[in-house]
Each structure stands twice: as C-alpha cells, then as structure tokens.
Amino acid sequence: MAIEQTPKNELPPKYYLEYFNYVLDFVQEKYRHILNEVEWRFLRKYYCLSEDAQCLFIRFSNRRGLFFRVNKLSYSELTNIPALLNELLEREFIETLNPEKHQTFSKEMLNVWTTKELVEQFSKLFTEKKTTYKKLKKEELVEAILQDFELSKIVETLNNFEPIIKVCFEYEVTFMKFLFFGNRYLDMTEFVMRDMGLVQFENHDDDKLVARFTTRKDAEDKWLITDQNDLFSQLKDIAPALDVYDWFMNFADSVHELSEVAKPSYERLIIKVATFLEKSKLLDEALLVYRLTEQVPSRERQVRTLQKLNHIDEAFSLCQQMIEYPKNADEKFYAIDFLNKLNTKKRAKKSTTSWLHQAESITVSIDFRHQVEMGVVDYYHQEGKLAVFSENHLWRAIFGLVFWDIVFDPSLVAFHHPFQRRPSDLYLPDFYEKRKDLIISHLDGFADVQDLLIYMGERYESKFGIANPFVVWLEEIWLIVRKAVELIEFEAMKKILHEMSKNLVEHLRGFPDLFMWDDIAGEYCFVEVKSPTDNLSNQQLSWLQYFQEIGVNAKVLRVYWRENDTLEEELVENRE
C-alpha cells in the first residue's frame, strides 16, 4: 500500500481558543476532585473575560517566556489589542513591570530585547561602558547590565523605551496543561498537528479516558520530580560534583512515600545523578546513589564501581544476584563474564566474543566499507536470494499489528488524553502483568498462520497511518511482515511475541540486522551482520540464543573486505 499524502487543513482564526477551552473543560471533568481554590479562582476569572481577551491571554500563554513587548503584539484575528490589554490588566491576567514583584525575573525581562537595543539604551546611562557592551554576547550583556544597574533603574529604562508586560497565572495554566497531558513536555501543538493532518491518533471517546493522577499527591509528586530533573540539568553544568551529590541526597532524604505514578521518573533521575557522579570520579558517592534503585543499569554500574574501589567480594555477590534474577540481557551476560574473569587464571573471553568467533564469514567489496549491511544484501542477491533490512522495525511492526487492540484498549486505565501515542504503562512492568491473560489468550486464539495473517492484514488496512509506538508506516513494511510471518514456524512466532511482551523496554531491541529468504527453496534466515571491527551486543546475543532455542533460523555473519580481488582480513581483537 502506498502512503497517501494527507492534505494539510486550514485552521480557523481562533483555533487556539477552542483547544485551550477543551483542555480546561477536560481538566474540570477529570480532575475536579483535586483542583484547589487558587486554580478554581483562575478558572472563574478566565471565564469572565471577553472572548478576545481570552484569545490574547492564550496567545501569551502559548508563547515562550513571561514578558512581552506591547508594541510587538499583532494578531490578525484581534482588532483592538490596546483595549484587550486594558481588560487583561484590570482582571489581573497581566501586569506592568515592577522592580519588587519581578526581581526574580530580571533576566527574562531583559531577554525580550535584542542585543543591539540593550546596548543602545543602557550605554546612554553608562557611556564609558558602550565599547565594552558592544563586544559582549547577549548572555554576557544581560549579566553586565544586572551588575551595573539597580533593578529599579533597569525597569525605568525599559518602560521609557517601550511598554512591556508580564503575563500572570503562569503556574495555573502550566498546571492545567500538565494535568491534561500527564507531563510537562507535551504542549498545545499536539492539537495543531492533529487538525493539520500531520499526525493521526487512535480515536478514544472522552468518557473512556481516565485521569492520569488519582489524587492531588500523585500530581504534585510527578510535578516535583519533573522540577528536580530540570534542576539537575542546570546544576550538573554549573555546580561542583560534590555539591550536586549533597543536593540530591538532601532531596532523596526528603522524599517519603512517593506516589507510584512518580516513581519511574524518580528512578530515572537517580540513574542520571549516579552516572554523573561516577563520571566525576566520586565513586563512593556514586555507589550510594546507585543503591537507591535497582532500575537498569544500576546493578551493573554498582559492580563496575565496586571493582574500581577494590570491593571484589561485594561485586561478586551482586553478580550472583544478577545471574539468578537478571533484569535484562546486559545484566546477565555482564555478570557471567565478570565471574568468569574472577574464576579463571587466563584472560576470559566475553560471551559475545566467543559467539562472534564461531560465526560464519564472507568477503564483500571494500566499496561497502561504510555500509556493510548493504554489502551483505548485495552478496545474497548475487546468490539469487532476497534480503532486506529488518533489525528492530520488522519485529516491532509484527508486535504492533498483532496486539493493536490490546495496546490501545482504553478499559485498561492507561489512556488519559486524546493525543497519546501509547498507553502510559507501556514501558513499565505493569504493562505485561495487567495484560498477561489477554496476551496469552489472544495468541492462543489464532488457529494457524493464515488466521494470524488475516487478522494482521485487517489491522494494517484499517489502522494505516495512525500513530503507533511500534509500527513505522513504510510502503514496504507489510510485504516484509507478511513474508516473515509466512516463513517462521507458527508456534515459534507466538513464543517470540509473548517474550517481547514481557519486557518491552529491553525486548524491542537487539534483533538481527537483515531478513533473508529464498522463495524457491522456501528458506529464510535472520542475519546479524558484523564488520571486522564490530562487536556483538548482549541483547543481540540474547535474541540469537532464544531463536536457536525455539528453532528460528538466525546467525551472525562476519564480513571481511575484498580489495582488488585480494582478501584483506582485518582481524581486530574485540574489545573486552
């Protein structure tokens, strides 16, 4: 099926008003029980504004920054902006510059001006600085002005040059959008992309969508972790590493009974901070932070850090736990290789290296040095076989089509707004646990491979183009998917899909590079291609072993270069 170009739609002049009001209505319906009086006050005041005043306020709220130059405001659908500004000012939706109220926003108010304008205005007040100011970059100039002048003088100068206003209710608006989207990273452009025909979303009735946050604490905890993530992003670039450690441990000590909805974000923050400390050579501190979570790759990093600290017994014990209860292939094989090194006097080969050294090899033209997979495709074509890039997108597409109805089932309390491309628990352990019985019964419901293909084909046709976390709508994807499903043994295919569903974070990666088949012989093989300098990853090895276990044809193929008809074997020792 060819991909049809969706015509871009023209949006009505006040499209953003409809979007914003939809968000407010949605939040009031789903989150009425957690809104506080300050937020209700904002809503009451907003609904008392005239329509055009609402539009101008939304225009402000949808733009970056809190300060706006009055003379720069121009919107074709709003004809009397001065009157609207007066209305917003009277209703406390905007305010004029005030050195006392806006002291913490001093940089923001200066940044709405160009470098040239700032130099022009402030060099008049400090003439001997004019030459210096001209040489400074914008950020340096803002810092210099704040150092050279009192804030009251800065505000007076800016107001004399051109009126400037600050938008109010910034927290309330951001919080409403946060409740709607469930995070602070999506914004109102999601509406625009949908209505312009740029993205299609799975359609859910609003009454089937459920609140992302059950309690006020859920929302506040999620907001808190987002704030701390943003703060860490700033601190790691400006503060000494030991100060970052002190900040984080103080924060960690203050976190008690964190809501479940916030825990995944908190654990990702732990990993970020610990990794930063490890790179900063604060090994003892990094180890303490790593120990706050078992999220991957915490345990592996702990072993590496313990080894550097020469705490071998602790590292040994942790590796035994990782082998017995691995969270992913990286943990499992790293722990196996680590213990092998400890238990042998000779230099032990890594599991991936041993597998790689047993692989088949071929030679291809050195012309393919920078596109080794294409060299292998060309090699198979010369043998009369077909080969295509498959890697992860083939298996993801098969998974997405087979489990479409389960992934997008709104009754499983994982869809919270109409722009979700995936359920909110997709990459959490809960995804499989909540759907285990559904997944197993769904796979068992297919009588044979033709039954499976009919079901997948129907989903492909009816859902084509809809945003899906698994399916990339390439023109050739269905042809490749169908061929793979036809050739792979039916029960083995179901086992792979079931295995993928158990841990989508890890099991959606590491599949072989190429899918090769021979229509005449009715044969196929998945091929992991490795150049002379390339290594096999732990996850790739995990899938190769699993394929071997269940009878799916797969192999590693090492490629050496042929130059001027002479075999040039670049035998490069694999990195340990």
Q: At what angle do helices 115-125 and 151-161 cross, to 10 degrees?
A: 120
Q: Residue 4's pLDDT is what? A: 42
**572 band by pLDDT with thresholds 50, 70 and 90:** very low
- CB-facing half-sphere around the CA of 348: CA atoms within 13 A: 16
Distance CA 362, CA 485 (A): 28
The dihedral of CA 433, 438, 443, 444: what is its sign? Answer: positive
219 closest CA partner among 343, 35, 39: 35
Residues 6+ apart with CB under 8 A from 183: 222, 226
Distance CA 443, CA 452 (A): 9
**28 band by pLDDT with thresholds 50, 70 and 90:** very high
Q: Which residue reads 């071998």 in tokens?
A: 312
pLDDT tens-digit readout, 406-464 = 999 998 888 999 999 999 999 988 899 999 999 999 999 999 999 999 999 999 999 99
pTM attached to this predicted model: 0.88
Distance CA 245, CA 262 (A): 21
Share of the chain above pLDDT 70, in %: 96
**Helices (H) and strands (E) in the chain — how many of each?**
28, 9
Q: At what angle do helices 241-254 and 216-238 cross, to 10 degrees?
A: 170
| Local structure of 371: helix, strand or coil | coil
Q: Residue 77's pLDDT is what? A: 96
Residue 3 above 50 pLDDT? no
pLDDT tens-digit readout, 124-146 = 887 777 788 888 999 999 999 99
pLDDT tens-digit readout, 323-382 = 999 999 999 999 999 999 888 766 678 889 889 989 999 999 999 988 999 999 999 999
403 closest CA partner among 379, 368, 432: 432
Please, what is the average pLDDT of the chain? 92
Q: Residue 1's pLDDT is what? A: 34
51, 131 in Cβ contact below 8 A?
no
Region at 199 (left for phi over 0; alpha for psi -120 to 50; beta for the rest): beta
Residue 81, Cβ density class (10 Å: 0-12 exposed, 13-18 middle, ≥19 buried): middle
Distance CA 267, CA 330 (A): 18
pLDDT mean over 25-36: 97
| Local structure of 501: helix, strand or coil | helix
Residue 443's φ and ψ, nearest 5 degrees, are -65, -40
Of residues 533 and 241, more confidently modeled: 241
pLDDT tens-digit readout, 45-96 = 999 999 999 999 999 999 999 999 999 999 999 999 999 999 999 999 999 9
**576 band by pLDDT with thresholds 50, 70 and 90:** very low
The dihedral of CA 20, 25, 29, 33: what is its sign? Answer: positive
490, 452 in Cβ contact below 8 A?
yes
Q: Starting at the earlier edge strand, list the strands of the sheet with 67-69.
A: 67-69, 164-167, 94-96
pLDDT tens-digit readout, 465-523 = 999 999 999 888 999 999 999 999 999 999 999 999 999 999 999 999 999 999 988 89
Residue 7 above 70 pLDDT? no
Q: Residue 290's pLDDT is what? A: 98
Residue 236 above 50 pLDDT? yes
Residue 158 above 50 pLDDT? yes
Distance CA 115, CA 110 (A): 10
Q: Residue 346's pLDDT is what? A: 63
